[in-house]
Amino acid sequence: MTEETVQPLIEFKNVSLDYGETKVLKKVDLEIEEGKFYTLLGPSGSGKSTILSLISGRLQPTGGDILIEGKNVNSLPSNQRKVNTVFQNYALFPNMNVYDNVAFGPSIKGFSKKKIDQLVKSMLKLVKLDDFSDREISEISGGQQQRVAIARALANQPKVLLLDEPLSALDYKLRKEMQSELRELQQRLGITFIFVTHDQEEALAMSDWIFVINDGKVEQSGSPVDIYDEPINHFVANFIGEANIVPGVMKEDYLVSFAGKDFKNVDAGMRTNERVEVVIRPEDLDIVVPSRGKLQVTIEDQSFRGDSYEITAIDDAGNEWAVQATNPAKIGQRRGLKFDPEDIHIMRLNESEEDFDARLESYEGED
């Protein structure tokens, strides 16, 4: 291990949480640095919201340690932590108007009236609700309630803002808008955002760093590009974007065999003739005349997706390939599939994240 130069803002060391027999979190390790946009991405019930509750102090771990700024906060109650949460249902106080909701945190801290007023006004300006301070919560739209919730959390001047699936209740267009606004807000404020979502598109669009959570574990962590291009296993490859995953054998470094043929690729560091899984993204596949293709396939099905066609083809070994193409194809036709060596990604079975990172480093350093 290299010496750590920067102390992480939040650190999970072997954190577990059990409810009796059910293990919600299984020895989770993660590090959160200052000033970045993090996303916890996973299907519902994966434990991603639980991690958020542990950071905010609504839950206590049954094993392991949670550190904030190097201090153990395992049993520190949530009202004493420098983190604030934007809840999924916003949890705005119905007996207060917009202004009083935002002023709640600062007034609890006992700030002067003048300071509270300044803070609330600047927060409402930040979320573009300057003119709404006198409105009742029941009088504003869902999108506006969302902004009030963000302003209320930020008015406490937290080091970390936790966002628990805050966009899931908004319609598609508003969600897109809020995504870029949240991203912009985070960059302007320079504080850490931890965003929980089950929407992989949202995660890829917004984050500096993604933790893919499944079944109470961190499956993979990395930048959006890393995770998309080099998923560590079947789950991640399938969950992030669409993927063709077929069984294969690594003949030697930079040579993989699948669908009955050998292909050059860019992965290495595996045992000779190791069984692996091969991933190729639908958008990396091109449909060409059979003689020019690396794989010969029969077109099986096709559907129109607005900006493209999704074509399903079957190769001679019986593997199914999803292809994203700009031009339509004819069902039943013989065609070829073209792809480059860089488009092939190899996944070892049951490889841990450390081994995966070490292996990538070992051969990528060689070039």
Residue 83 Cβ vs other proteins, minimum distance, rounded to whole Å: 8
Q: Which is nearer to other proteins, 56 or 319 (CB)?
A: 56
Residue 194 Cβ vs other proteins, minimum distance, rounded to whole Å: 14
Residue 355 phi, psi dihedral angles, 5° rounding: -60, -40
Q: Which is nearer to other proteins, 157 or 302 (CB)?
A: 157
Residue 104 Cβ vs other proteins, minimum distance, rounded to whole Å: 5
Nearest Cα neighbor of 154 from 228, 85, 77 is: 85
46 is known to lie in a ligand binding site: yes
Q: Which is nearer to other proteins, 39 or 56 (CB)?
A: 56
Measured between alpha carbons, how far is 87 from 90 in angstroms, rounded to an integer?
A: 5
Tokens of 30: 């993660």
44 is known to lie in a ligand binding site: yes
Measured between alpha carbons, how far is 331 from 336 in angstroms, rounded to an integer?
A: 14
The secondary element (H helix, E strand) that includes residue 205 is: helix 200-206
56 is known to lie in a ligand binding site: no
43 is known to lie in a ligand binding site: yes
Q: Which is nearer to other proteins, 141 or 362 (CB)?
A: 141
Task: Give the footprint of other proteins on this chain (CB under 8 A).
Answer: 56, 58, 77-80, 84-85, 87-89, 91-95, 104-105, 108-109, 136, 138-139, 152-153, 156
252 to each of 232, 320, 342, 363, how far by Cα in Å? Answer: 20, 25, 16, 13
260 is known to lie in a ligand binding site: no
42 is known to lie in a ligand binding site: yes
Residue 162 Cβ vs other proteins, minimum distance, rounded to whole Å: 9
CB 158 within 8 A of CB 84: yes
| Helix extents (H) in 30-129 | 48-56, 98-108, 113-126
Residue 173 Cβ vs other proteins, minimum distance, rounded to whole Å: 21
Residues annotated within the binding site for ATP are 42-49
Residues annotated within the binding site are 42-49
